[in-house]
Amino acid sequence: MKALIIYANYKEQSFTAAIRDTLAESFHNNGHEVVVRDLYEIKFNPVLSKKDLESIDNEVFPVDIMNEQKFIQWADMICFVYPVWWSGMPAILKGYIERVLVMGYAFDFEGDEAIPKLKNKKIAIFNTTGSKNVYKDESGLQALNKITHDCIFGFCGMQTVEHKYFTAISKASTEEKNAIFDEVRDIATKLLGKA
């Protein structure tokens, strides 16, 4: 399996980074190829500019966008690892999606009908939150899942096979954090059978 991990958190010494590293290590230790794209480390430009749009309209993709599209194309399993900020993904990741999963690459239109172009890709999402009470009921999570699973990845034909939320990370004990790492390793093993 070829696993791509897309990481979006500016804190290198964070629990989210530890999840990223645990995932990468688990895939690698099971003999699978792994690439990690740390959007802050690579200084990814999240702004879909007028120049980008004009270029894409002329079917000329900017080099940095094509580079990321090559990683997406290469991967069987794409894991997104990021904290939930303001009921969504960090802006750098939203910008990544806007610039990389563009029309002509991730989808096309025939008349009014959208045609997904990335049907062979599986998605796993790992989110962290600072509080247990980010969502008082299930409706908030359902809304977030609807956007990510269906409106973003599903629109491009990709299937979300795992979405895990780890809450109240800032208050978790060492034992609780170690249990989460064990769970991430178990999920990684399970994902290997879904690619």
Bridge partner residues of 194 (DSSP): none
Per-residue pLDDT at 144 exceeds 80: yes
In the predicted model, what is the mean pLDDT of the chain?
A: 90
Which sequence spans correspond to the domains of the chain?
2-192
Q: 134 versus 176: which is more confidently predicted?
A: 176
Distances (CA, A) of 187 to 20, 22, 111: 13, 11, 40
CATH topology of domain 2-192: Rossmann fold (3.40.50)
Residue 194 has pLDDT above 90, yes or no: no
pLDDT beyond 60 at 195: no
- 46-93 pLDDT, tens digit per residue, is 999 999 989 888 888 899 999 999 999 999 999 999 999 888 899 999
Cβ neighbors of 40 (< 8 A, separation 6 or more) are: 8, 9, 10, 92
pLDDT-based confidence at residue 130 (cuts at 50, 70, 90): confident
Q: Is the dihedral of CA 102, 42, 27, 9 positive or negative?
A: negative
DSSP code at position 103: B
Cα 115 from Cα 146, distance rounded (Å): 19
